[in-house]
């Protein structure tokens, strides 16, 4: 009797763990994308209350490695201001943005040929680092759909 009971329990538990959960895929809304010569370097998408920033990792020149970070859709304007508003910001200023997902964005403001730009380094929860291509405010305007 014990053997039969044990076999039934093992059989039932095996079946319960083997179940697949199928869910509908929600379409995300493309807010903006920055392309250079037809190649995508950054893309911003919105899905309900979240925004997804997908970018090409610039640490590798010959490998197309794309990474992503997530932030709340309500924070999109604040992030846009951090990346485009250089009022009172000196060359070399660094800022750290902690996202709710546990990821960190390290922003360093630089100047080249008289124009300010932001270098963005993304560090995910696991400590893996990625670097986003530096973009000018005009390019961020295109990326954030403000153009």
Extents of the domains making up the chain: 26-143
Q: Which pLDDT band, with edges at 50, 70 and 90, does 19 fall under? A: low
For residue 82, is pLDDT > 70? yes
What are the strands of the beta sheet with 29-36, ordered from one edge? 29-36, 39-47, 50-56, 66-72
- Tally: H helices and E strands in the chain: 3, 8
What's the average model confidence in pLDDT over 117-122? 90
Q: Taking a C-beta distance cutoff of 8 angstroms, is the pair 41, 133 a contact?
A: yes
Count other C-beta atoms under 10 Å from residue 18's C-beta.
7
CA atoms within 13 A of residue 139's CA, in its CB half-sphere: 16
Average pLDDT value for residue range 59-81: 87
- Burial class of 32 by CB neighbour count within 10 A (0 to 12, 13 to 18, 19+): middle
pLDDT at position 11: 67
Name the average pLDDT for the chain: 85
Cα within 13 Å of Cα(30), Cβ side = 7
pTM for the predicted model, two decimal places: 0.74
- Looking at the DSSP bridge assignments, the partners of residue 106 are 96, 121
**21 phi/psi in degrees, rounded to 5:** -110, 120
Q: Which residues are paired to 34 by β-bridges? A: 42
pLDDT at 121 over 90: yes
- pLDDT over 90 at 104, yes or no: yes
Q: Is the pLDDT assigned to residue 100 strictly greater than 80?
A: yes
More confident residue, 128 or 62: 128
């Amino acid at each position: 009797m014990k053997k039969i009971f044990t076999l039934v329990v093992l059989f039932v538990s095996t079946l319960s763990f083997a179940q697949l959960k199928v869910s509908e895929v929600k379409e995300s809304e493309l807010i903006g994308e920055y392309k250079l010569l037809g190649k995508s370097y950054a893309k911003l998408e919105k899905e309900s209350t979240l925004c997804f920033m997908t970018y090409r990792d610039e640490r590798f020149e010959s490998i197309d490695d794309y990474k992503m970070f997530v932030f709340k859709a309500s924070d999109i304007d604040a992030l846009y201001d951090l990346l485009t508003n250089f009022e009172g910001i000196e060359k070399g200023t660094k800022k750290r943005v902690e996202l709710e997902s546990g990821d960190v964005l390290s922003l360093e403001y630089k100047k080249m040929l008289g124009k300010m730009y932001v270098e963005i380094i993304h560090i995910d929860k696991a400590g893996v680092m990625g670097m986003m291509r530096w973009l000018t405010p005009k390019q961020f305007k295109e990326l954030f759909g403000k153009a």
